[in-house]
Amino acid sequence: MRARDLLLALLVVALWGVNFVVIKVGLRGVSPFVLGGLRFLLASFPAVLLLPRPRVPWRITLGFAAASFLGQFSLLFWAMKVGMPSGLASLVLQSQVFFTAILAALFLGERPRRVQIAGTVLAACGLGYIGLRSAGAFPLAGFALTLAAALAWAAGNLASRALSRHGPVNGLAFVVWAGLWPIVPFFALAWAFEGGEAVTASLRALGPSSWAAVAYLAWAATLTGYGLWNRLLARYPAAQVTRFTLLVPVVGLFSGAIFLGERLTGDQLLGSGLVVAGLALPILAGQVARPTGAAR
């Protein structure tokens, strides 16, 4: 991966790591489905009036929107509403890396290199260690919903990967147009599960901090984060790109501790170190192999 793209990947990691704290703030007194609807409403308007629709088949746009936007965030917001801590949610959600690798191998024929597998296993050990040592710290329902959100994200990653088959695609425009589709379903879910009064109460409960959270979710996490993410997935194999999200829980854990007072234990620090090592292993191996290949 080029140095510039590496820096862009790390920027996405930072934006998405802090994202979990912002979600917690946005959910104070607000329905998770209303928060999701407002997020994509702000992400798509007025940008959709300024950016032309990408020349991508509707099935890819709808597949990405249904999985990555509606599926992932309805489940994740719901999980955090029922008590899933922000730091641990950022951790469990990264199981999407393993789901993506499996789905990419099954449906796209992408076979990761041995060093990538080794790095992913090492990072998985770090994630598993943090999860096991944090047993009882989060509700079972929240854990299950977050795991389902990770599977939805993985399915969306395959749709993003399919963009490479349709020539150069403006990643930002793709995110903006895809963001149109979940808006109505989010509000429909709020009405179906919580009733019209809950939707009205959520809109009335929106204060300055809630609107600031919606703005961050829409412009930083969605437009910037997913715009860069889709760009990277269009250039590199899915397994190579998605490994970077293993750093998201590291940022998420520290952010939760700093901004929300969530306790950061020694076990979580140790597990985070394993995650970093697992991500760094394939990158360092590539840097070592490059001069050797050049010399040959």
Query: Does a structural domain hold residue 289?
Result: no
pTM of the full predicted structure? 0.82
Query: Does a structural domain hold residue 161?
Result: yes
Query: Does a structural domain hold residue 290?
Result: no
| Residue in 149, 183, 241, 170 with CA at minimum distance from that of residue 45 | 183
Percentages (nearest 5) of helix, strand, coil residues in the chain: 80, 0, 20
Query: Does a structural domain hold residue 271?
Result: no
Amino acid identity for residue 281 in this structure: L
Sorted by sequence, the CB contacts under 8 Å of residue 228 that are 6+ apart come out as: 8, 9, 11, 12, 171
Q: What pLDDT does 296 receive?
A: 45
Q: What is the per-residue pLDDT across 158-206, written as a single tens digit (0 to 9) for each?
A: 887 777 677 777 878 989 999 999 999 999 999 999 988 888 999 998 9
Q: Which domain holds residue 48?
A: 3-111+138-249
Whether pLDDT at 118 is above 90: no
CA-based torsion, 29, 35, 37, 41: positive or negative? positive
Query: Does a structural domain hold residue 266?
Result: no
Q: Residue 100 is encoded by which pair of tokens?
A: 């993506």
Q: List Cα–Cα distances, 244 to 56, 71, 96, 142, in angstroms.
A: 26, 21, 11, 24
| Angle at CA of residue 21, ends 48 and 267, nearest 5° | 135
Please name the residue that has the structure tokens 């790390």.
Answer: 10
Q: What is the per-residue pLDDT across 122-143, written as a single tens digit (0 to 9) for each?
A: 888 887 887 777 666 667 788 8
Q: List Cα–Cα distances, 50 to 44, 119, 144, 225, 258, in angstroms.
A: 10, 41, 39, 19, 38
| Number of domains comprising the chain | 1
